[in-house]
């Protein structure tokens, strides 16, 4: 009581009593909130926080599992090695190409799919299921399916497109064509995800706005660009952000289809090769930390640069 007394004097007199009661209740509520979230927070710290900190720690050492006794503190030298290596930059370029191409194409196709799913009346369930089906297939499985479709021995695509590229075209034998197949597989597989997020945004644009725009004299394209898209901008940015971060980590498709050959290696794949194949834990950790940093930069650009408000996806818009 003696502690609270001077506090109470500083506040405006009449409001003191009730506001004090409220703040006590609020404080209790906040304490309860912390107690309720504590198990989840502890679990997250154990399974996510610890490996991240450990990776950061390991990246400061020259350390190969084949030579545990040779472990030596090298400071930031590993980062210097990675950033000076042209392989890192080549993989950055590969990852950027895959991310930009897939996200751009998926955004367009996903938007068309979302509009179809939003508008369709007959066979709604069938169409929605058909559109969403690829997303339900395990990435490894779909990667194998696409690999077999394009491979020299089992592939039928070369047969179909023989008139264009020659009967025995080796799709995985050139950087461009290999990246093309990888991108196609990514697009086929994850467009449903982006179209789901866009559908959620689309359904938040009231139909009456479309009607008002029709009466105001807007054509379909004018309604799309001047009414629909501006009103679902937040949903679009969130969809692009999620997909970009997802595409930036691409691993399975490359692992299965080319195993990084023909300069199709992505940053995730580089991390894998350093840490697992070469068991160079120091360098591998440095690459994974750098990969993490690039993702933070992408997220920061979206959240700060484009002012994406994640609350809008959940319909918390004022």
Is residue 273 within 8 A of residue 255, CB to CB? The reply is no
Closer by beta carbon to other proteins, 222 or else 277: 222
Which span (108-116, 126-134, 222-230, 280-288) binds other proteins, by CB under 8 A?
222-230
Return the residue of 64, 174, 175, 226 that touches other proteins, per CB under 8 A.
Answer: 226
Q: Which long-range contacts (CB under 8 A, 24 or more apart) does 301-309 make?
A: 302/237, 302/240, 302/241, 302/244, 303/241, 306/237, 308/234, 308/237, 308/238, 308/241, 309/234
Is residue 124 within 8 A of residue 211, CB to CB? The reply is no
Which span (50-58, 160-168, 170-178, 215-223) binds other proteins, by CB under 8 A?
215-223
Number of residues that bind other proteins (CB under 8 A): 19
Closer by beta carbon to other proteins, 67 or else 216: 216
Exposure string of 4-16, with b = 16+ CB inside 10 Å and e = fewer, is eeeeeeeeeeeee
Segment (H or E) for 64: strand 61-64
Is residue 214 near other proteins by the rule CB under 8 A? yes
Return the residues of window 118-137 that contact other proteins according to CB under 8 A: none
Give residues with Cβ within 8 angstroms of 186, minimum separation 6. Answer: 98, 102, 106, 247, 250, 253
Is residue 318 near other proteins by the rule CB under 8 A? yes
Is residue 211 near other proteins by the rule CB under 8 A? yes
Is residue 216 near other proteins by the rule CB under 8 A? yes
3-state helix, strand, coil in the chain (%, to 5): 75, 5, 20
Is residue 209 near other proteins by the rule CB under 8 A? yes
Which span (90-98, 155-163, 202-210, 278-286) binds other proteins, by CB under 8 A?
202-210
- C-beta of 225: minimal distance to other proteins in Å? 11
| Integer Rg of the chain from CA | 26
Return the residue of 64, 233, 249, 278 that touches other proteins, per CB under 8 A.
Answer: 233
Q: For 69, phi and psi rounded to 5 degrees?
A: -75, -20
Is residue 174 near other proteins by the rule CB under 8 A? no
Is residue 231 near other proteins by the rule CB under 8 A? yes
Name the site residues for other proteins (rule: CB under 8 A).
206, 208-209, 211-219, 222, 226-227, 230-231, 233, 318
């Amino acid at each position: 009581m003696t502690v609270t007394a001077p506090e109470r004097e500083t506040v405006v007199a009449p409001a003191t009593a009730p506001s004090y009661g409220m703040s006590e209740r609020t404080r209790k509520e906040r304490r309860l909130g912390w107690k309720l979230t504590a198990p989840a927070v502890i679990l997250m710290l154990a399974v996510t926080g610890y490996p991240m900190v450990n990776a950061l720690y390991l990246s400061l050492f020259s350390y190969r599992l084949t030579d545990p006794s040779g472990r030596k503190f090298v400071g930031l030298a590993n980062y210097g090695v990675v950033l000076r290596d042209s392989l890192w930059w080549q993989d950055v370029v590969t990852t950027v190409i895959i991310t930009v191409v897939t996200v751009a194409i998926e955004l367009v196709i996903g938007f068309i799919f979302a509009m179809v799913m939003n508008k369709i009346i007959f066979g709604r369930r069938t169409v929605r299921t058909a559109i969403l089906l690829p997303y339900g297939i395990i990435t490894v499985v779909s990667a194998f399916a696409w690999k077999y479709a394009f491979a020299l021995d089992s592939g039928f695509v070369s047969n179909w497109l023989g008139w264009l590229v020659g009967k025995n075209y080796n799709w995985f034998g050139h950087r461009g064509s290999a990246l093309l197949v990888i991108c196609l597989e990514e697009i086929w597989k994850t467009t449903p995800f982006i179209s789901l997020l866009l559908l959620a945004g689309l359904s938040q644009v009231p139909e009456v706005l479309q009607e008002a725009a029709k009466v105001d004299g807007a054509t379909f394209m004018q309604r799309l660009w001047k009414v629909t898209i501006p009103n679902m901008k937040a949903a679009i940015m969130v969809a692009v952000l999620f997909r970009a971060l997802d595409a930036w980590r691409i691993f399975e498709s490359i692992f299965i289809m080319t195993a990084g050959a023909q300069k199709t290696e992505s940053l995730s794949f580089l991390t894998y090769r350093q840490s697992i194949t070469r068991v160079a834990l120091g360098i591998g950790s440095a690459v994974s930390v750098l990969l993490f940093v690039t993702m933070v930069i992408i997220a920061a650009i979206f959240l700060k640069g484009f002012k994406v408000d994640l609350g809008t996806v959940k319909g918390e818009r004022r």
